[in-house]
Each structure stands twice: as C-alpha cells, then as structure tokens.
Amino acid sequence: MADEGYRVLSAANGQEALNQVRQAPPDLILLDMLMPVMDGATFARTYHQQAGSHAPIVVMAATEPERRAADIGAAAYLSKPFDVADVLHLVQQLASRPT
C-alpha cells in the first residue's frame, strides 16, 4: 500500500491501534478481527464511542466476514485470504468518504 502512495500505519494489537487512531485520525481502517489484547469487535465498538467523525472500517476475516462487518457497522469486508488488488480497490473507493 505504501508503494501506491498511501501512508500506512500498523498496530500489533487492538489497543495499540486504538491509541494510534486517537493520536492521528485515519482516512480508513483495515481491521483484522482476530487481534491480541483487544479484538476487532471491541476495537470497533470503542472506536465508535469516541467523539468526532469516524473513518470507514474494512473488516478482514477468514470466517463469516460479511456477518462480522455487519455486526460492527463496517463499510466493507474482505475474506481472508484476499488479493492485494481487492484491498487497493477498497482503499481507493473508501478512503476519502467520511462516515
């Protein structure tokens, strides 16, 4: 993604991701639902409770990605394994859309 001109930040776990979005609000969140410390669903719930605007979330999951995305109100989902071209397409489509 950085090769495509996007600034990419990564987090080792959900708590670290939450800390990052508090410091630097993102344009889009690619959310793995299976993270240590704080899972994707808890991250999304906590993130949406924060004041202010929220970036679209793309759920990435190996099992039931569509349901998991619906459960947290995500803008889109990717089923693991996924193709990088699919990720880039979603980033291009969603990164500039406010929620």
Encode pLDDT of 34-47 as tens digits: 998 999 999 999 99
User: How many Cα neighbours within 13 Å face the side chain of 89?
Assistant: 8
Write down the domain spans for the chain: 2-94
Q: 36 is written with which tokens?
A: 């240590």
Closest CA to 47 of 74, 87, 67, 65: 74
Domain 2-94, second-level architecture: 3-Layer(aba) Sandwich (3.40)
Q: State yes or no: pLDDT of 65 exceeds 90.
A: yes
Q: Which of 30-34, 75-79, 94-98 has the lowest mean pLDDT?
A: 94-98
CB 67 within 8 Å of CB 40: no
Q: 61 is written with which tokens?
A: 């999951």
Q: 58 is written with which tokens?
A: 């793309």
